[in-house]
Every structure is written in C-alpha cells, then in structure tokens.
Amino acid sequence: MMRLGMTVLLGVLLTLAMPVWATTGTMLRDDPLRAFASATAPVLTQVARGTKVEVLGRQGGWTQVRVGGHTGWVRMLSVRTSETAQRDVGGELAGVIGMGTRQADPGRIVAVAGVRGLTLNEQQLQQARFNAQELERLERYAASRAEAQAFAREGGLNARAVDYIPAPAQARQQSSPWEETQW
C-alpha cells in the first residue's frame, strides 16, 4: 500500500517534471552546423565555441541542436550538454520524498536510492583488508574467450578494424621529450 503510494507519487512528480526538462549545451569548439548527421552534409552555418545551443538528440557521432533559428547537426564531441534550471527543480522535488533523480539525456530517468552506502576515500583504502573470499567470487564470474565471442554473436556485434587514436598534436609539441614523461 505504502509502496503503491510512493510509486504513484513518484510517477506524478516525474510527470510534472518531465515536460520542463530540456537539455542545453555549450559548444566546446567551433564547428559547422550541418543539415544532417554526416560530414558530407551541407553546412547551414558555423557555430562558435562557447555558443549555447538547445540539444535535441543524438545519432552516432552527431548531436542535433537548435541554434540561432537553425536546426542541424554538430559533432557529438563538440558540444557539452548541461542541465537546465527547470530540471533541477524536478530533481529537488523528487529528492523531498527520499529519491534523487539523475538524468543523462532527455528522456532518461534513473532513480537513485537515498542510501549512499559506502563511499570510497583514501583513508578507507589505506585500511583495506584483503578479502580472499570476495576475490574468489569475482574470479568465478570470468568469461572465457569463447563465451565472450558467442555473446557478441548473439548481439550481432562484429569486430572491426579501427586504429588507435594518437594524442592531439599540441600534447606532442613540447620542447623536450623528458618534459612529457608522465611516469
């Protein structure tokens, strides 16, 4: 009964909150706005770094945005999405009944239990005691090569050739190789 009540209440809150949820974004770099999600699509306009955009959706490596009267696509990695003030209100409302809501994209709702459980910090780790039993449990779950391959086939996943990506140019432009030694 109690549970049903909570569910209904949460449902109402989410319904109330959802219409005002919208994702905005900020351009992380200059990027052309394209008519469709492809590098070969016609360019509608240029969007400068720092420009605020309205985020409408994503398709592969492309994010659909609305900016300055245009609707089009920019590279997914060129725009940082952010939450709007309205959505925080929804989150706070939900928080009142002991549930926090987190949302990554429009339409995504993930309820987070009020109890945070263990949080990790250095002090805890320093006092860590080796847990052999839990380690054995972990090792029992290991997937064999064949099992992983069968699992991939079931999902229609096909391995493909993709090169590793080198570090961006500026990271390699430092004067001395010693200075970029990270270890």
Among positions 61-90, residues that touch other proteins (CB under 8 A) are 61, 75-78, 80-83
β-pair type (43-47, 31-34): antiparallel
Question: Strand order in 31-34's β-sheet?
Answer: 43-47, 31-34, 70-75, 62-67, 52-59, 23-27, 79-83
Contact 33, 74 (CB under 8 A): yes
Contact 17, 93 (CB under 8 A): yes
Nearest CB to other proteins, comparing residues 45 and 149: 149
The answer to whether 3 contacts other proteins (rule: CB under 8 A) is no
Shortest distance (Å) from residue 102 CB to other proteins: 7
List the one residue from 6, 12, 39, 97 that touches other proteins (CB under 8 A). 39
List the one residue from 52, 66, 70, 108 that touches other proteins (CB under 8 A). 108
Nearest CB to other proteins, comparing residues 69 and 118: 118
Contact 55, 79 (CB under 8 A): yes
According to CB under 8 A, which residues from 117 to 176 bind other proteins?
Answer: 117-122, 124-132, 134-135, 137-139, 141-145, 147-149, 151-152, 155-168, 170-171
The answer to whether 43 contacts other proteins (rule: CB under 8 A) is no
Nearest CB to other proteins, comparing residues 12 and 112: 112
Report the C-alpha gap between 44 and 100 in whole angstroms.
40
